């Protein structure tokens, strides 16, 4: 009696899995005969930013007639699961592989063993056989941020820079670019401090800066979270300081729309996904692809914040 | 309540009729075969040499953690720290052999000793400090080890390990990953240890009934310290394999791996109440998880869905365990 139950329950469990797998498998794999296929392995699919990348990749697949398969672990911290996903995608022999590595070093052995074109997006890694890296040109993003801030201020105004964690190359480049643009426009940089890309930390860093320089007129922050933190510190003191962020998160765009944040330099995750698939197709066809592709930035201020918000909402559906 | 019987594998099999014996012994294996058959039908990429070798390689880290985890579970305990211990072991190996440029042999020793050392600490906390349950002591060391792993390099990863360290996780013999051969060797050793040595039999006895074991003259504390030390050692070894696979060590390595290891042991037929469980069952458990993940990846099932399926499999497997318990109480 009992053993029958056991066999029965095991059978039910297995057939449930089969059913579930069968069903959800069908809708993803369209059986287009002779169609090219591109596999996209992201850091995760569980945050808005990566949903934008996914949306871009899928839109490219639809427009260009490519089978696009986007996968990613449950969290950016699931590094080994991402490696497993890369291996499992490769064993299905896609035409090309587009990857955004969670930990740049970890993907190197798996990707160098790949026998199809490999493209990296968002985060670069030292992979010998990569076709290209598509991502934000951080120095340029910083320059645009600096110019935007300068355009809102008078010559000789005092400004501060809030950087990311020490050694974070992405945020460091943004600060460098902003610094150059601000100096060129004749601004006086009175402070430059790291707040580790963290909102809470940025509040206290900004409070300390304001203790010393209460006449600051503008702040450039290397990411949006810190910019929002800076804003909190400024508002608490009742000061009028222009704050510019970088990234283009939904929260930042909403803040711009509400007239709080002065602007942000938005990265283009949607374009990274789109360009990733588009250039993967070029590589499959044997065409030449640029070694480094700039996915570009969008300058968001109150004038265009509403459109940006609508765009973000439309692609995150 | 009825007296708990100290069940070693032999006694269980003696009691049961052939078919029952077959089912309880090969239940997980039957599950694995069924699962593989279904996946073969659903994906033409599943039953290929390339993919089977992928599964073999993808299962190794969890298989090594799981065989370590089997020992605490056999004593009705648990080791939550293995994922974090893996991380701290590889970080120190990286510091020694990459940052300080010392010999890879020293690096490997540091990795294994760091693992065994934390395991030993778990054993000491349990037996000497008399913390009420290993859940608590290993929860503590889990956080301590992870914290230190993050602190030592200010959360920065370490890459570029010497070839000797990468060998286990990276190389192949023909099409077979060296790491999987390592798993086979380790499992054979564990099988001999658990079934042919006195300490091995004591481990089952302690899980079956610790009081009876104590009264019969077994040095329970000593056995428990050995159990947790081995579990930690296996975490270090799993770390060594991981570093070979990805050529880098990072502080978030092995995050929540303890849960997959526990799942493998339980799916493999071990009982949380202690005293029941086999080495080969654990291997099957680890393979079931690897096959599930790989198969669902091949079918392009999203990661969120995979979690749900694996959760359901764990519950189903433990339910089978419950049925088994109920049956053995009646007889």
Nearest to A83 among B23, B245, B319 (CB): B245
Q: What is the pLDDT of residues A99-126, one digit of tens each?
A: 999 888 899 999 999 999 999 999 899 9
Preferred mutation among A58, A79, A115, A198 to probe B, highest tally of B CBs within 10 A: A79
Task: Report the distance separating Cα A187 and Cα A208, nearest Å.
Answer: 21
Q: Which residues of B278-308 are buried (b: 16+ CB within 10 A; e: fewer)?
A: bbbbbbbbbbbbbbbbbbbbbbbbbbeebee
Q: Where does the pLDDT of residue A1 fall: very low under 50, low under 70, confident under 90, or very high at 90 and above?
A: very low
Say if the Cβ atoms of B54 and A87 lie within 8 Å: yes
CB atoms within 10 A of CB B96: 20
B210 is written with which tokens?
């610790």
Residue ranges in chain B whose pLDDT is less than 50: 1-14
For chain B, report the end-to-end CA distance as a whole number of angstroms: 14
User: Quick check: A101 and A81 in contact, CB under 8 A?
Assistant: no
Of B41, B157, B294, the CB nearest to A105: B157
A157 phi and psi angles, rounded to 5 deg: -65, 150
**pLDDT value of position A317:** 66
Contacts of B177 in chain A (CB under 8 A): none
Residue A80 near residue A49, CB atoms below 8 Å? no
* Interface touch B319/A9, C-beta < 8 Å: yes
The fold of the A33-135+269-295 domain, in CATH, is Rossmann fold (3.40.50)
> Smallest CA–CA separation between A199 and chain B, in Å?
19
Instruction: State the Cα–Cα distance between residues B112 and B120, nearest whole angstrom.
Output: 12
Long-range contacts from A288-295, C-beta under 8 angstroms, 24+ separation:
A289/A119, A289/A131, A289/A132, A290/A132, A291/A132, A291/A133, A292/A132, A292/A133, A293/A132, A293/A133, A293/A134, A293/A135, A294/A135, A294/A136, A294/A137, A294/A140, A295/A121, A295/A134, A295/A135, A295/A136, A295/A267, A295/A268, A295/A271
Q: For A138-266, which CATH class?
A: alpha beta
Banded model confidence at residue A313, pLDDT cuts 50, 70, 90: confident
Q: Is the dihedral of CA B14, B16, B17, B18 positive or negative?
A: negative
User: On the CB side of A37, how many CA atoms lie within 13 Å of its CA?
Assistant: 15
Top-confidence residue, A81 or B7: A81
Record: contact A6-B27, CB cut-off 8 A: yes
Mutation target to probe the A interface, by most A beta carbons within 10 A, among B24, B297, B307, B319 is B297
CB contact under 8 A, A17 and B309: yes
- Domain A33-135+269-295 and domain A138-266 have a common topology: yes
Task: Please list every residue in chain B whose beta carbon sits closer than 8 Å to the beta carbon of residue A69.
Answer: 300
Q: Please tell me the distance in Å from B38's CA to the nearest CA on chain A.
A: 6
- Segment A54-74 shows an average pLDDT of 95
CA separation (Å) from A219 to A134, A225, A261, B35, B126?
28, 13, 10, 58, 54
Residue A71 and residue B302: Cβ atoms within 8 Å? Answer: yes
- Are residues A14 and B252, on separate chains, in Cβ contact within 8 Å? no
Cβ–Cβ of B301/A25 closer than 8 Å? yes
pLDDT by residue (tens digit) across A192-222? Answer: 999 988 899 999 999 999 999 999 999 999 9
Angle between helices B279-298 and B49-74 (to 10 degrees): 140
pLDDT at residue B18, rounded to an integer: 63
Q: Closest chain A residue to B313 measured between Cα atoms?
A: A13
> From the CB of residue B139, how many other CB atoms can be counted at a distance below 10 Å?
15
- Name the helix (H) or strand (E) containing A177: helix A169-184
DSSP state letters, B124-172: HHHHTS--S-HHHHHHHHHHHHHHHHHHHTTT--EE---HHHHHHHH-E
A28 band by pLDDT with thresholds 50, 70 and 90 = very low
The total of other beta-carbon atoms located within 10 Å of residue B80's CB is 25
Among candidates B160, B170, B300 on the partner chain, residue whose Cβ is nearest the Cβ of A28: B300
Find the CB nearest B250 among A6, A69, A103.
A103
Which class for B311: exposed (0-12), middle (13-18), buried (19 or more C-beta within 10 A)? exposed
**Does B296 contact A21 at a Cβ distance shorter than 8 Å?**
yes
Contact B210, B76 (CB under 8 A): yes
d(CA B318, CA A273): 42
Helix, strand, coil percent values for chain B (each to nearest 5): 75, 0, 20
Q: Chain B: nearest CA to A26, how far in angstroms?
A: 8
The pLDDT score that the predictor gives to residue A76 is 83
Asked if the Cβ–Cβ distance from B255 to A78 is below 8 Å, we say yes
ipTM over 0.90: no
Contacts A17 to B, Cβ<8 Å: 35, 38, 292, 309, 312-313
- The predicted structure's pLDDT at residue B39: 93
Q: How confident is the model at residue A10 (pLDDT cuts 50, 70, 90)?
A: low
How far is CA B212 from its chain centroid?
27
The span from the CA of B178 to the CA of B97, in Å, is: 22
Confidence of residue A292 (pLDDT cuts 50, 70, 90): very high
Q: Do B309 and A87 touch (CB under 8 A)?
A: no
CB atoms A79 and B250 under 8 Å:
yes
Q: Which residue shows structure tokens 């095991």?
A: A10
Asked if B123 contacts B228 with a C-beta cutoff of 8 angstroms, the reply is yes
Domains annotated on chain B, with CATH: 9-330 (1.10.3470)
Evaluate whether A10 touches B34 at the Cβ level (below 8 Å). yes
- Tell me which chain A residues have a C-beta less than 8 angstroms from the C-beta of B252: 77, 79
Contacts of B35 in chain A (CB under 8 A): 14, 17
Instruction: Give the chain B residue whose CA is nearest to the CA of A44.
Output: B303
List CB contacts (< 8 A) between B160 and chain A.
105
CA atoms of B132 and B298, how far apart (whole Å)? 44
pLDDT band for A26, please (50, 70, 90 cuts): very low
State the nearest Cα–Cα gap between A72 and chain B, in angstroms.
Answer: 7
CA B244 centroid distance within chain: 19
Residue ranges covered by each domain of chain A: 33-135+269-295, 138-266
């Amino acid at each position: 009696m009992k053993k029958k139950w056991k066999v029965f329950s095991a059978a039910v469990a297995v057939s449930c899995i089969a059913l579930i797998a069968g069903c959800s498998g069908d809708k993803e794999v369209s059986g287009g005969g002779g169609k090219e296929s591109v596999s996209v392995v992201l850091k995760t699919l569980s945050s808005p930013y990566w949903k934008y990348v996914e949306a871009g990749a899928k839109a490219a697949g639809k427009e260009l007639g490519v089978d696009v398969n986007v996968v990613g672990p449950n969290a950016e911290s699931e590094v080994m699961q991402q490696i497993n996903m890369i291996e499992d995608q490769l064993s299905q022999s896609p035409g090309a592989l587009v990857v955004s590595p969670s930990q740049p070093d970890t993907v190197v052995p798996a990707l160098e063993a790949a026998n199809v074109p490999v493209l990296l997006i968002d985060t670069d890694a030292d992979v010998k056989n990569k076709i290209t890296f598509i991502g934000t040109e951080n120095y340029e993003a910083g320059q645009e941020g600096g110019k935007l801030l300068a355009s809102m201020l008078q010559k000789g105004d005092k400004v501060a820079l809030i950087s990311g964690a020490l050694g974070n190359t992405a945020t460091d480049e943004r600060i460098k670019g902003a610094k150059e643009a601000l100096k060129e426009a004749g601004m006086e940089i009175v402070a430059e401090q790291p707040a580790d890309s963290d909102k809470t930390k940025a509040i206290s860093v900004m409070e300390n800066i304001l203790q010393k320089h209460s006449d600051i007129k503008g702040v450039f922050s290397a990411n949006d979270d810190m910019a929002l933190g800076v804003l909190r510190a400024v508002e608490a003191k009742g000061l009028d300081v222009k704050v510019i962020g970088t990234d283009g998160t939904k929260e930042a765009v909403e803040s711009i729309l509400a007239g709080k944040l002065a602007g942000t330099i938005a990265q283009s995750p949607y374009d990274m996904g789109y360009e990733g698939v588009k250039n993967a197709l070029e590589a499959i066809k044997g065409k030449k692809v640029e070694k480094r592709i700039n996915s570009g930035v969008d300058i968001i201020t109150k004038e265009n914040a509403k459109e940006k918000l609508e765009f973000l909402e439309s692609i995150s559906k | 309540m009825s007296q708990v019987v100290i069940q070693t594998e032999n006694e269980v099999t003696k009691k049961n009729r052939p078919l029952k014996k077959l089912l309880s012994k090969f239940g997980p294996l039957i599950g694995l075969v069924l699962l593989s058959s279904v996946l073969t039908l659903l994906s033409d990429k599943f039953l290929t040499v390339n993919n089977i070798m992928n599964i073999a390689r993808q299962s190794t880290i969890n298989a090594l953690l799981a065989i370590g985890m089997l020992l605490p579970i056999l004593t009705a305990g648990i080791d939550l720290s293995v994922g974090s211990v893996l991380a701290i072991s590889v970080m120190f190996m990286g510091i020694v052999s990459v940052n300080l440029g010392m010999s890879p042999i020293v690096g490997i020793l540091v990795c294994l000793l760091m693992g065994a050392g934390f395991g030993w600490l778990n054993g000491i906390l349990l037996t000497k400090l008399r913390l009420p349950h290993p859940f608590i002591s290993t929860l503590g060391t889990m956080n301590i080890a992870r914290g230190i792993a993050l602190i030592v390099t200010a959360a920065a990863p370490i890459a570029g390990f010497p070839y000797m360290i990468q060998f286990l996780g990276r190389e192949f013999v023909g099409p077979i990953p060296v790491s999987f051969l390592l798993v086979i060797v380790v499992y054979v050793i564990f099988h001999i240890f658990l079934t042919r040595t006195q300490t091995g039999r004591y481990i089952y006895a302690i899980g079956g009934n610790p009081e009876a074991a104590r009264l019969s003259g077994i040095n329970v504390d000593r056995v428990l310290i050995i159990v947790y030390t081995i579990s930690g050692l296996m975490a270090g070894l799993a770390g060594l394999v991981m570093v070979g696979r990805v050529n880098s060590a990072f502080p978030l390595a092995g995050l929540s791996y303890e849960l997959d290891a526990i799942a493998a042991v339980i799916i493999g037929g071990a009982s949380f109440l202690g005293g029941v469980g086999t080495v080969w069952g654990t291997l099957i458990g680890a393979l079931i998880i690897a096959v599930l993940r790989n198969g669902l990846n091949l079918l392009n099932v999203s990661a969120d869905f995979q979690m749900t399926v694996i959760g359901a499999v764990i519950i189903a497997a433990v339910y089978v365990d419950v049925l088994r318990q109920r049956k053995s109480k009646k007889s």
